[in-house]
């Protein structure tokens, strides 16, 4: 009996470790994506203020706007996927 409970405890510990590790990697990846989006938005803001004062090339402004548009579309897509997953969880029978 003790051997089986020890093996069960060890298996539980390993499965818990496996289940926890991908979440931490996913969280780090999401944090990197979010940081990239914020930096794109800040770069666009600087380019916009520079375009208004005439210190930034209009081409750089258009490029910054395109990068920001891509970042916003990515954020919206991520949000939609999270909402879809949440709705799917709510539909699961208990």
Per-residue pLDDT of 65-86, as tens digits, reads 888 888 888 888 988 999 999 9
% helix, strand, coil for the chain, step of 5: 90, 0, 10
- Identify the pLDDT of residue 60: 82
Give residue 38's pLDDT: 79
Mean pLDDT, residues 40-66 taken together:
83
Predicted TM-score (pTM) of the model is 0.55
When divided into structural domains, the chain yields a total of: 1
DSSP codes, 4-33? HHHHHHHHHHHHHHHHHHHHHHHHHHHHHH
Which pLDDT value is given to residue 2? Answer: 47
Specify whether the CB–CB gap between 47 and 56 falls below 8 A: yes
Range of the domain at 68: 2-91
């Amino acid at each position: 009996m003790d051997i089986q409970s020890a093996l069960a405890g060890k298996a539980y510990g390993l499965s818990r470790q496996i289940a926890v590790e991908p979440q931490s990697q996913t969280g780090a990846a999401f944090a990197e994506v979010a940081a990239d989006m914020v930096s794109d938005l800040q770069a666009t803001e600087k380019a916009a203020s520079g375009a208004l004062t005439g210190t930034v090339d209009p081409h750089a402004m258009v490029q910054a706007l395109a990068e920001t548009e891509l970042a916003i579309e990515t954020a919206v897509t991520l949000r939609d996927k999270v909402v879809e997953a949440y709705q799917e969880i709510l539909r699961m029978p208990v």
